Structure 1
Amino acid sequence: MPFEDELGEALRRAGDGFPADRHALVQAGERRGRRLVARRRAAVIGGSVLSLALIGGAGAYAGGLLDGTGRSEIAAPPEPSGGPSGGDGTPVPELPPVPRGTGAVSAEQMVEVLKGLLPEGTLSVTRASGTDGSSAGVTGVYDDGKGGAEINVSVLRLDPNGVMAHTETLCSEKNLPEGDDCTTEQLADGSKLLIEQRHLPPSLTPGLKEWRAALATPQGYLVKFYESNSPFGLYPGNSPSAGATAITRTDPPLSPARLKALVTSDKWHPALNDLPAANAGPRG
């Protein structure tokens, strides 16, 4: 037998010669178990005391949870004088209220104006707003008999010299892919007009197109119109039959000439005049 095996066998025999004291082992195990139980109890009691202390502190802070009739009366935490403050204690300035129009032009009137500027067809309105806010507009599905298409028109006021007037009439891309087109034009009255026809990324829905027009005037008017070749617009995946089946027509319904006529129409002026004038915006 090799030396290593002989050594292992000798150690095993030596161990067998010292029988374990089973009674001592049981007692030691019992003591260890009691210590573990005591630790768990202490942890539970400590957590309960901490929870009660927190609840008691909250109750003291609230100034009394119940009155004599059993109704709860929890006081709000006091605010420092001077109004709300930030995390560092500095006062937070109150935001001015959002300017709104008088509501002289209703949502129904906005719909009628849009219908009058569209070619013959049907318009199913999904959302419309009048001039009782900071903007007004109409969203719906228009069908000229060649398939439904989502359309949207919105009117609002902006700073004619601000960056928004520039970006709203800016082409989405400099290098347009084949089949897309974008033109910007300055009209005789100084207004800026954008007409853009583009395909949206195939990852969204293959064949989905977005055509849009935007007019920014020196008076601070902004009229925007958008149309697609799907009744679900930019989100054809929301349709019951998602994917390419959501494309209902080859192109959106309105031609570039129709888009220009729609956004430059003075029929939007009553709504624009009723909306609040925009504050001076960032230059650039």
Structure 2
Amino acid sequence: MYENRAREGRGPFEDELGAAMKRTGEGFSSAGLPLVDGGIARGRRRAVLRRGAVVTGSVATLAVIGLGGSYVTGGIGGSQGGGAAVGAPPAAKEAPAGQRPGSGNYSANQMIKLLEGLLPEGEFSGQEGRGTKGTGELKDLHAPYASVVYDDGRGKAAVSVGLSRQYPGRQPDGDFLCPDKNLTAYEACSGTTLEDGSRLLLFKGWEYPDRREETRLWYADLLTPAGHRITVTEWNAPAEKGAPVSRPAPPLSLDQLEDLVRAAEWRPVIESLPEPAKPPLEQPDPGQLSGEEILRRLTGRLPERLTVKASGYQEAEYAYAVVDDGEGGSFVQINVQPDMSDVEGDLFGPDAKVLADGTKVTTREGPGEKGGAGVNMREVDTIRPDGFRVVVSAYNAAAQHEAASREFPALTLAELEEIATSTVWRS
């Protein structure tokens, strides 16, 4: 449950861009890069189902919108002869008088050619891209990206790059932390700080964490102290979704992905983007509990027969615990969200139970939503008269994306309701 829906229903890059930008504007982020981050904007909290576990971070949005930039030299070879690194990208248009140097525009075609030139020798098709200046309704959008279908002779693979410019020195939140394996399955991940202070995340996982398809998703994400960000994403299929796997693994190794995001050729493109404004200071949301505090209160309300085997939380609103009563692991997660009155009508219909204090309660039992074999869940969703929402769910597996490890979840609906309606969340 609570899975981020941003990656579903993928279409052409151009068609997806507006929706992806909307998601980003609502605060879509990737703390823990599969965990959800805190500092949650109000619009983001209004999601009908709050996600607790997210797939491989913000890659979907990064691939569409672009995030990027690097100072570091490098490259993994040109596409024309012998693997030599490509030179500087095609010259940008001359900047108007009075505009700072390097502030000309780069076209979509220049972005595509730059990506192709930095990839090893191979054949290219399916090119899509966006330059440093938007068009039409998105004319003020500065989100360059390029996407190609690349074939090195071992099978076609989608490869994309996205660039952006962030306020210098801004902390990267949780974007450069590896995900919690209790929430997201992956093959390998590393988050490091480079000698120049840049943050680099290298990730090998799957497009679908539940492995319902064997489409692999690998990426490299880099953020420099100057706020230059670049993300390169690749798959072992000609498209992110909807295309059969065409090779055992994506074409570029993690070392090659690192070389590609660190290539100096991206720097002029990043520097041509407008300088970002200083972000406003985030104000704490009244009534919002930290994830750490939610976890403490959750474990304090669990039945004594349960032993906590693992646990985790995000910065705000969400926590989980893996519990065991001797019959196998059971994943339990909770969301605590203030000010959710605007979705009350969507979540709580006329059949919802109403308690004496006005709290509405709905329950659900059924299959889990992340595809683990035989996984079933129990859930209790509650909302107080002032919009304060608590939703708790339990599974018959130690993780939603794993196969069932027991016949039933470790907590009954009655026990989940007791947790969700407890006064501990308001004290």
Query: Which whole-Å CA distance do the structure 2 matches of 1:127 and 1:103 have between them?
Result: 21
- Which 10-residue stretch deviates more, 119-128 or 211-220? 119-128
Query: Which whole-Å CA distance do the structure 1 matches of 2:226 and 2:209 have between them?
Result: 39
| Partner SS for 2:173 | helix
- Asked whether the 8 Å contact 2:131–2:143 carries over to 1, the reply is yes
Q: How many residues align?
A: 174
1:69-88 deviations in whole A, cap 9, x for unaligned? xxxxxxxxxxxxxxxxxxxx
- Asked whether the 8 Å contact 2:112–2:127 carries over to 1, the reply is no
Query: Which whole-Å CA distance do the structure 1 matches of 2:209 and 2:225 have between them?
Result: 37
For 1:207, the equivalent position in structure 2 comes to 214
For 2:269, the equivalent position in structure 1 comes to 271
Report 1:70-219 matches (<5 A).
103-133=104-134, 134-162=142-170, 165-175=172-182, 180-201=187-208, 205-219=212-226
Query: Which whole-Å CA distance do the structure 2 matches of 1:228 and 1:172 have between them?
Result: 19
5+ residue gaps, structure 1, are 1-100, 240-245
- Code of the aligned partner of 2:155: G
- Asked whether the 8 Å contact 1:220–1:278 carries over to 2, the reply is no
Going from structure 1 to structure 2, the CA distance change for 1:255 and 1:102 (only over 3 Å counts) comes to same
Identical counterparts, % of pairs: 35
- Asked whether the 8 Å contact 1:125–1:138 carries over to 2, the reply is no
| Partner SS for 1:271 | helix
For 2:353, the equivalent position in structure 1 comes to none
Query: Which whole-Å CA distance do the structure 2 matches of 1:125 and 1:170 have between them?
Result: 32
1:128-166 deviations in whole A, cap 9, x for unaligned? 111114121101211111111111101110134435x23
Greater Cα radius of gyration, structure 1 or 2: 1
Please, what TM-score do these two structures have when normalized by structure 2? 0.38
For 1:247, the equivalent position in structure 2 comes to 245
- Code of the aligned partner of 2:206: H
Query: Which whole-Å CA distance do the structure 1 matches of 2:275 and 2:181 have between them?
Result: 32
Greater strand fraction, Structure 1 or Structure 2: 2
Cα deviation for residue 262 of structure 1 reads 0.2
Query: Which whole-Å CA distance do the structure 1 matches of 2:204 and 2:276 have between them?
Result: 29
- Code of the aligned partner of 2:133: D
Going from structure 1 to structure 2, the CA distance change for 1:196 and 1:179 (only over 3 Å counts) comes to closer
Q: What stretches of structure 1 move > 6 A for 4+ residues in a row?
A: 176-179
For 1:227, the equivalent position in structure 2 comes to 234
Greater helix fraction, Structure 1 or Structure 2: 1
- Code of the aligned partner of 1:167: G
| Partner SS for 1:135 | coil
- Code of the aligned partner of 2:262: T
Query: Which whole-Å CA distance do the structure 2 matches of 1:186 and 1:202 have between them?
Result: 26
RMSD (Å), alpha carbons: 2.5
Going from structure 1 to structure 2, the CA distance change for 1:201 and 1:107 (only over 3 Å counts) comes to closer
5+ residue gaps, structure 2, are 1-101, 135-141, 283-314, 316-427
Going from structure 1 to structure 2, the CA distance change for 1:216 and 1:206 (only over 3 Å counts) comes to same
Please, what TM-score do these two structures have when normalized by structure 1? 0.56
- Code of the aligned partner of 1:263: V
Going from structure 1 to structure 2, the CA distance change for 1:219 and 1:147 (only over 3 Å counts) comes to same
Query: Which whole-Å CA distance do the structure 1 matches of 2:122 and 2:144 have between them?
Result: 23
Query: Which whole-Å CA distance do the structure 2 matches of 1:131 and 1:145 have between them?
Result: 32
Going from structure 1 to structure 2, the CA distance change for 1:176 and 1:142 (only over 3 Å counts) comes to farther
Cα deviation for residue 170 of structure 1 reads 2.9
Going from structure 1 to structure 2, the CA distance change for 1:206 and 1:102 (only over 3 Å counts) comes to same
- Code of the aligned partner of 1:264: R
For 1:94, the equivalent position in structure 2 comes to none
